[in-house]
Structure 1
Amino acid sequence: MQPRRVLRVAASLAYPVVILCVWRWVSPRYVGALLFALLWLQRWAGTGALAASLRKLSRVDWTVAGVLSCASAAVVLTDSEQLMRLYPSLVNLGLLAVFGATLVKGPTMIEKFARISRPDPAPHIIRYTRRVTQIWCVFFAANTVFSVYTALNWSREAWSLYNGAVAYVLCGTLLIGEFAWRKCVMEPRAARQGIA
């Protein structure tokens, strides 16, 4: 695995760990600084040099990155625990925007992933990836709302546990469920019907 990819994976995994560990830390300011650094580290490590990486960001990506940057900067400047608690809901809202934008102007997000292993997918695969992208949008919308609820009503420990662990277990469950559905239902059905 390339060092840059390892760095991106590490930065991605560090985000939930930071949120999960928040309940042990005193100052939201340090969390905000870490979140800001992780956000831009992921973008830099994703596709090469920072300039090249930034050129590949769409308008929606730029907007999401801008909102998250402003949110983390606001946490640093104000040392506000409430702003820090709302950050995960902004991440979910950003993912909803990024996935949702691909439904309007394709290819859909899941189709992009599918094209990595199958560059020229059949029409039924494109329809399926569109449905899966819609399911992810529903998940991100629901998780945004629930994350706001936890930020406003739960203790720091409970908020931290949900947004740093439980939400990722739910995300993983959806990912595994979709994979199992595709392998056990969709692909056998396509094979029986003689669809490539």
Structure 2
Amino acid sequence: MTQSKMTQPSQVSSQIFPTPDHDHGRCTADAIKHAEKVCAGRGQKFTTIRRQVLQALLASHRPLGAYEVIDHLARDIARPAPITVYRALDFLMENGLVHRIESRNAFLACAHNHDELSHGQQSLVAFLICDRCGSVGEIPAAPVANSINEAARNTGFAPKLSVVEITGTCAHCQAITT
């Protein structure tokens, strides 16, 4: 491939990790529109509490624990019961609007349409977690997860879930230190 046809690492990074000066209001509005479209397309209700939980997660590009979501919501509304927030998170996860970051026991808003990105494969992603700024990006990981699942099945193990989380430093934080 010629240099002009190759995707530069900084271009890939900017698609995975938003730049610090990106239009976050637009980013949030687009994610809410995506959630409305997903719910409408599936005939499901995007209730007020589900919207509020998603908006709390969209407040930054960092994962939040359920109690951090509750604290965020309590700034503007009566403090919701944990079960209410957990039910909203479950709904949002089931609909691909939120991911659970296992290593952090936290949740991350997602505006990607994984049904369209998966091309017939199970929609699997790897999470890239920046140790410096806490931002999380996601990249397609179906080939990696499928290989791991196949290796597990070859031992007689029946895998249910593959989660790939990679910690390191995002390009934006690397640029700050260089």
Same fold by TM-score, threshold 0.5 exceeded? no
Greater gyration radius = 1
Structure with greater strand percent? 2
With the shorter chain as reference, the TM-score category is 0.3 to 0.5
Structure with greater helix percent? 1
Provide the TM-score with structure 2 as the length reference: 0.35
Provide the TM-score with structure 1 as the length reference: 0.32
